[in-house]
Amino acid sequence: MAFKNNKIDNVGGGITADLIHVDSPLSPFYDPSLTRFQRVTDSLRHSLLRHRSIRSNDLKSSSLTSPAPEASLAPVSGYYLMKIQLGNPPIDLLGIADTGSDLTWTQCAPCSDCYKQKTPIFDPKKSKTYDTVSCKSQECQSLRYEHPSCDNATDGCHYELTYAGGSYTSGDLATETLTFDQNLSFPKVAFGCGHHNYGDNLGTSSGIVGLGGGPVSIIRQLKKYYSIDAKISYCLPPPNSNVSSKINFGSNAVVSGPKVMSTPLVKREHDTFHYVTFDGISIGNNKLSFKSKKTVTVEEGNMFIDTGSTYTFLSDQFYFKFLFALEKALNGTPTANPEGGFEVCYEKPVNGKFNSPTITSHFRGGVDLVLSPEGIFVEANKGVVCLAILPSYSTDLLVFGNSQMINYLIGIDLENQKVDFLPTNDCTNPN
């Protein structure tokens, strides 16, 4: 693929990559020995760890902690994998697609402190296009939350980062050739080459694919260096489906049609997160308007879109208001989940069908998202269904998780500062 003045020649700026849920039978990480209940428990654990870590760091910076040496790696569920290739010759990477992260990173040889990953660890010495980044470079200077430091002997830029959920990586900031589905290759894309990593909530993935709004995210780098529009779109199929889907960049990421709903993106201090304004939620025809504790009106940009979290988190005050209304509308028998973790659970009827009222999430701009029943109540144990919306215990951290994004084509458009939603029943052909 040819480049002219750092612009793509003959593809119109459109890029596509594979996207698949880690728990899908099509996933290379699928573990048939796990029951569907174990997967739900693992995804809950993953979301809670992630949420607690972000909340404790107040969305501003990461407080670094040393990784546990040779820590065991528990199975983790609940996220979507994105397939890309790195290096020349290229090797496959299967990283977690994360709209709540900027830096794309993978484990690199030599790797003295690493977790076990499914794919081979990237070896910089085997690539013709690998290059370390100088401390004085623009890439190094643009690091904000990755705690950059300098090797005075080599002038190499180092990073250290504790990710949401406790995952840790440190290593060299480097540039490398990044390749997508259509054999589109982009040289000199900055990424983290991690030599010391810990990933109790990363499963056996290759690392993280950063899809945030900060300067080192893939979205921003493709825009800055290759004039690819700063847009992505994706459609998330249910976790257990035999369907993979695509994540699109640039001109391929345009979401269009008469049923498209749009809500503004809101700029806040932390530019990694894609903030939107959550207005409330409806249970059937009963609409509950959201009001923050701090203000009489809705705070702008009070929720962020997070593909890395399985579940949605609401502020505790509003959550329990929602819960009270939901329990009045339900005809179910409350019970406890033997595994714990979920706030609200019900007995599953003997006929196997748990009937929930229609749940609609409301966002600024008249966006009304009817949430998929699969994303509202999950069967957490045999005969037990649990509410997949959780209390945040922080009015500053509302999260729209991937379970509630199911069966929508979602476009995050940094060019026009908006998020588009298009309902679909087919993630293989959403438009």
Instruction: Quick: pLDDT tens for 31-71.
Output: 777 777 777 767 776 666 666 655 444 444 333 333 322 22
Question: Which pLDDT score is estimated for 66?
Answer: 31
What percent of the chain is predicted at pLDDT more than 90?
Answer: 43
DSSP H or E run through 54: helix 36-56
Question: Which pLDDT score is estimated for 61?
Answer: 38
Task: Name the pLDDT band for 8 (thresholds 50, 70, 90).
Answer: very low
Q: Is the pLDDT of residue 370 over 90?
A: yes
**Residue linked to tokens 């290739």:** 85
Q: Is the pLDDT of residue 78 over 50?
A: yes
341-365: average pLDDT = 88
Using CA of residue 110, residue 189, residue 192, residue 402, what is the dihedral sign?
A: negative
Q: Is the pLDDT of residue 153 over 70?
A: yes
| Contact (Cβ atoms closer than 8 angstroms) between residue 276 and residue 317 | no
Pair (346, 297) in one structural domain: yes
The rounded Cα 257 to chain-centroid distance in angstroms is: 25
Pair (330, 255) in one structural domain: yes
Q: Can you tell me the distance from the alpha carbon of 159 to that of 162, in angstroms, rounded to the nearest whole number?
A: 10
How does pLDDT run across 387-405, given as a tens digit for each residue? 999 988 766 678 999 989 9
The verdict on residue 200 lying in a domain is yes
Q: Structural domain of residue 378, as residue ranges? A: 250-423
Q: Can you tell me the distance from the alpha carbon of 18 to that of 382, in angstroms, rounded to the nearest whole number?
A: 33
How does pLDDT run across 283-296, given as a tens digit for each residue? 999 999 997 655 54
The verdict on residue 142 lying in a domain is yes
- Token pair recorded at residue 359: 């749940």
Give the lowest-confidence range in 212-221, 242-251, 288-297. 288-297
Q: Rounded to the nearest 5°, which phi and psi values hold at 45?
A: -60, -45
Q: Can you tell me the distance from the alpha carbon of 276 to that of 295, in angstroms, rounded to the nearest whole number?
A: 17
How does pLDDT run across 126-151, given as a tens digit for each residue? 999 999 999 999 889 988 878 899 98
Pair (220, 267) in one structural domain: no
Q: Is the pLDDT of residue 248 over 70?
A: yes
Q: Give the bridge partners for 347, in sequence order.
A: 384
How does pLDDT run across 182-193, given as a tens digit for each residue? 678 999 999 999
| 187: nearest Cα among 130, 121, 122 | 130
Q: What is the CATH number of the domain that holds 387?
A: 2.40.70.10
Candidate list 42, 98, 102, 229, residue with the active-site label: 98
Question: Which pLDDT score is estimated for 55?
Answer: 47
Using CB atoms within 10 Å of the CB of residue 338, give its burial: 0 to 12 exposed, 13 to 18 middle, 19+ buried. Answer: exposed
**Residue linked to tokens 């401390």:** 135
Q: Is the pLDDT of residue 425 over 90?
A: no
| Sequential DSSP letters for 130-171 | -EE-BTTSHHHHT-SSS--EEETTTTEEEEEEE-TTS-EEEE
Q: How many domains does the chain have?
A: 2
Q: Is the pLDDT of residue 421 over 80?
A: yes
The verdict on residue 41 lying in a domain is yes
Candidate list 102, 113, 200, 306, residue with the active-site label: 306
Q: Which residues of 106-139 are buried (b: 16+ CB within 10 A; e: fewer)?
A: bbbeebebbbebebebbebeebebbebbbbeeeb
Task: Name the pLDDT band for 415 (thresholds 50, 70, 90).
Answer: very high
Q: Rounded to the nearest 5°, which phi and psi values hold at 373?
A: -55, -30
Residue 226 one-letter amino acid:
Y
Q: Can you tell me the distance from the alpha carbon of 147 to that of 220, in angstroms, rounded to the nearest whole number?
A: 19
Pair (226, 260) in one structural domain: no
The verdict on residue 97 lying in a domain is yes
The verdict on residue 429 lying in a domain is no
| Higher-scoring residue by pLDDT: 355, 273 | 273
Pair (275, 134) in one structural domain: no
Task: Name the pLDDT band for 119 (thresholds 50, 70, 90).
Answer: confident
251-277: average pLDDT = 93
The verdict on residue 220 lying in a domain is yes
Domain stops at, among 169, 200, 230: 230
Distance (Å) of CA 287 to CA 104, 182, 359, 360: 39, 45, 10, 9
What spatial distance separates the first Cα and last Cα of the chain, rounded to whole Å?
Answer: 27
Q: Give the bridge partners for 387, in sequence order.
A: 377
Is 306 designated active site? yes
Pair (222, 262) in one structural domain: no
- Token pair recorded at residue 342: 């979920």
